[in-house]
Amino acid sequence: MNAVPENVDIIIIGSGMAGLTVASIMAQEGKKVLLLEQHDVIGGNTHTFKEKGFDFETGLHYIGGRIGKKTSNLRKHFDCITKNGVEWEKMDDIYDLVVIRDGENREQYPMYSDVKILKKTLISSFVDEEKAIHEYFKMIKKVRIGITVLFLLKCIPYQRIQKIIHKLVQPFLSIFDETTEQVLSKLTKNKKLIGILTYLYGDYVEVPSRSSFGMQALLSDHYMGGGYFPIGGPSMFARTIVPIIEKSKGKAFVRAPVSSILINEENKAIGVVVKGHRIFSSIVVSAISATKTYKYLIPQTHQCLVQSHLKIIESPELASETGYMSMFVGLQGDSDELNLPKRNLWIFPSWNHDENMTKFRDDYSADFPGMFISFASAKDPTYHTRYPKKSVASIITLGIYEHVEDFKDEKCKTSW
């Protein structure tokens, strides 16, 4: 660690989008940033990897938020942290195609970027549910307003506005206390409609009976306006932000696992330990999640300070029961030759997502509860310039650790 800059202003643990965002903002304010990543590449879920002449994306498959418009708030945020370094390619007007495969039977429903067309399509398919569909979109708007107000209020000292927070925000955010299933079952008894509206549950890994409706509403709202993909691939975020860090004399390191956060007698973080080396800074930011920070980085001498928080976030009601499994497929030929779409496919065995998950959890030989298929090479207009006559597909499904626990000590094997 001889190359570590002296007198760093801020240490950031983890180089996913959270870590990169903080690093960019601080560096643009003239701070000397030290970004530490345990993996061999910067980017977290936005990193890509090359294998056998193919370039695969790992975690970022599309973004909504009307990011194609330079005036949108999300676009302004990304332009800020990348200094206008990333452009966006719009996906097909049907950005997601939701499919049910039950034996020989197949149903599909398109998700249109135009909200009016999406509503019209849903109503034409569920004529008797027009009122429920309109009410669903109204509730999404209500949640959007509530979360916006909440973020604004957090910019003001909390003690001064306790009463205002409860009066202004509670009517909008009380819906976060209800599950997606509870809210939607009040709107309609049509299980198929509920299944279609909640197809995105795979994005946040919680079935309707466990997820907060607030999360469901915010994500649904996020994709109204369609999906977009970063031109040049998701690794563009690291490639644009790392130079910003270095311009302010900071540094980003890979293969730099933090084993512990240094804490002084006043219970203040003052640095980190990396491969036995102590690195000091007056500010330490962990961007690897609260759970991993509390469990693995807080010294045993200070674990008592975080146990109450850890107990809450690891409770069965909050802790996720599932994870993801991914398969990366390399294809010979470009997107036009292979007729690959600029949209994602979501495939389910039935519209009852809770039942699908229960069957799979109980029996790993059952159908996967859901499957997401994405073609980054079709979404990125530069892909075939960089990798001629090659295309890629990412196939992702939900996974249960206990199903694969027997292989935890096995070495990785390739099947190329």
Q: Name 325's Cβ contacts closer than 8 Å, sequence gap at least 6.
A: 396, 397, 398, 399
CA distance 146 to 160: 19
Note the pLDDT of residue 414. 63
Name beta bridge partners: 241.
none
pTM (predicted TM-score): 0.92
Domains annotated on the chain, with CATH: 10-88+231-313 (3.50.50.60), 91-112+321-416 (no CATH), 114-224 (no CATH)
The closest alpha carbon to 202, from 326, 289, 299, 101, belongs to 326
CA distance 352 to 208: 9
Q: Name 140's Cβ contacts closer than 8 Å, sequence gap at least 6.
A: 217, 220, 221, 224
CA distance 1 to 199: 46
- Report, in this order, helix, strand and coil percent for the chain, each rounded to 5: 40, 20, 35
The closest alpha carbon to 330, from 274, 265, 267, 375, belongs to 375
Which tokens belong to 66? 């009307």
Which tokens belong to 10? 């801020």
Q: Residue 215: left (phi > 0), alpha (psi -120 to 50), or beta?
A: alpha
pLDDT along the chain (416 residues), means of 10: 87 98 98 98 96 95 96 96 98 97 87 97 97 96 84 70 67 82 96 97 93 95 97 98 98 98 96 97 97 96 94 88 92 96 97 96 94 98 97 96 90 67
